[in-house]
A = this chain, B = another copy of it.
Amino acid sequence: MTVRVVLVDDHHMFRTGVRTELLEAAPGFIDFVGEAANVEDAVSVIRREEPDVVLLDVHLPGGTGHGGVDVIHGCLGVETAAGAPVRFLALSVSDAAEDVIAVIRAGARGYVTKTISATDLASAIRRVADGDAVFSPRLAGFVLDAFGVAAGEIAEVDEELDRLSAREREVMRLIARGYQYKEVAKELFISVKTVETHVSSVLRKLQLSSRHELTAWAMGRRLI
């Protein structure tokens, strides 16, 4: 039985490469029913085609800048004709923990890097379509760490981030980018004093002591 696949990547030639190699490596197994090069197109194609599996690049133009995460969020609840949920398999050049965690939290069922061979990719697609989760060997370790019982450092990061309120995260992002308090105040239409309060809370909650450490913290987690 064939697997209906939508392919999302902003590089046309990479899409051709994936298509060509998969059709050669596993003839008749995959039915490519759509492609997209940005977040908006991806969401509409997926909603229209209701594929079994979406092959998805993590870094995409469009949306709020979170690429693959935005696509998945935009397709919550979409089901195939058979009633199974649409499965997402992330296909990325990045093996950064933050990217992996983000897209898995968003709901992807697997994550493989673009160095994968065509035959391995074909079997990964088959397994994801069947409901399995698939990860490149190098990634499997810390994915288990992050979601397992003994939560490692990656999981703790998000716990810390979760302790911040929405407004605090908003202020934090601007401060980490080098905005002055005055500029943040103008941007968010609040007073400088309120900005100071939020910044103090953020620094206290994250156990940091200056905006420079905050910048380093945010950069280390690819939040900016």
Contact = CB atoms under 8 A, between A and B. Distances in A.
Interface of A: 10-18, 20-21, 93, 114-115, 117-118, 178, 210, 212-213, 215-216
B213 A178 contact: yes
A118 B14 contact: no
Contact of A11 (B16, B93, B210): B93
A11 B114 contact: yes
B10 A178 contact: no
Contact of A18 (B13, B93, B114): B13
A36 to B, nearest CB: 14
Contact of A20 (B10, B16, B93, B115): B16
Nearest to A22: B13
Contacts of A11: 14, 17, 93, 114-115
Nearest to A121: B13
Contact of A178 (B114, B117, B216): B216
A216 B13 CA distance: 33
A205 B108 CA distance: 50
Contact of A13 (B10, B17, B213, B215): B17
Contacts of A16: 16-17, 20-21
Contacts of A210: 178
Contacts of A114: 11, 13-14
